[in-house]
Amino acid sequence: MNIFVFVKKVPDTESKIRIDHEAKCIIEEGLSFVINPYDEIAIEEALRLKEAGEATVTAFSLGSDESIPILKKALAMGADEAVLLKEDLAESYDGLRTARIFVQALKTKYSDYNLLLFGKQSVGADNSQVPSMVAELLGLPQVNVVTKLEIDGNTGSAYREIEGAVEKVSFSLPAIISAQKGLNEPRYETLKGIMAAKRKDIPVVEVQELGFDGDELTSQLELIKMESPPPREAGKVIEEDPDVAAKKIVEYLREEAKAL
């Protein structure tokens, strides 16, 4: 079985995000970048499927050379191969554009796959779009936000989280699955894995050379502005006996906030 996992470089979730208003982008200087946490779960799932049977795991990332450490991380965890789909552009926040690039790479260069794994969203663009879009463009079944996955030969079942319930979905391979927290607990890379990943070659595919027509790669979303969220004013803080504090909370909610 051939499993492809799509991974993205994102700012660490503990980072404070600063904005360059002129350039309408986030200021990357001083940020530390990590593999998108949901993508890490997707890699772990691929590795578990590999360990349970026979599979080759290949990680793909779209981005500049700065995404190579993310691919090395995937290799160090245990992925067999990694490929960089290279492009030196700023984040477009347009999921369709990203999906088209993945689909073009799959159609023209990497057409041998059984399972395509993603994170349910990147913690950054927060789009939750690319897995579904790739599924549609390739005409494949999709199950997003998956917390349990069972593959049996050419078919599978996935459990997906919705509001207050879980949906069980059956599908046949090839299929698109996106991972949610709870699917597994990603492993730490081993020293041996890190050393092996260091030596491993990562092929680079230039996005420009994937054979796109002129404007197919133009983002269809126009970014008008980017700003910080309106700051929240700190309110009143009290330190009183528990009984009094409890009364004051309820009073505040009812009288001042008029929320109860």
Which of residues 191 and 234 has its CB atom nearest to another protein in the complex? 234
How many whole angstroms separate alpha carbon 112 and alpha carbon 137? 16
Strand partners, 179: 119, 146
Establish if 37 lies at the interface with another protein (CB under 8 A). yes
Q: How far is the CB of 112 from another protein (least distance, A)?
A: 20
Q: Which of residues 130-189 bind another protein (CB under 8 A)?
A: 130-137, 140-145, 157, 159-172, 175, 180-182
Q: Which of residues 50-89 bind another protein (CB under 8 A)?
A: none
CB-based contacts of 205, cutoff 8 Å, min separation 6: 83, 84, 85, 86, 105, 109
Residues within window 217-246 making contact with another protein, judged by CB under 8 A: 218-229, 232, 234-240, 242-243, 245-246
Name the phi and psi angles at 149, rounded to 5.
Answer: -135, 130
Site string for another protein, 90-109 (x = CB under 8 A): ---xxxxx-x----------
Cα(58)–Cα(71) distance, rounded to whole angstroms?
Answer: 10
| 3-class secondary-structure state, position 242 | helix
Tokens of 222: 């126009």
Residues 11-30 that bind another protein (CB under 8 A): 11, 13-17, 19, 24, 26
Outline where 5-129 has alpha helix (H): 37-52, 68-77, 95-108
The closest of 43, 64, 41, 67 to 55, measured between CA atoms, is: 43
Q: Which is nearer to another protein, 50 or 181 (CB)?
A: 181
| Closest to another protein by CB, 125 or 202 | 125
Residue 191 as a binder of another protein (CB under 8 A): the answer is no
Least CB distance from residue 183 to another protein, whole Å? Answer: 10
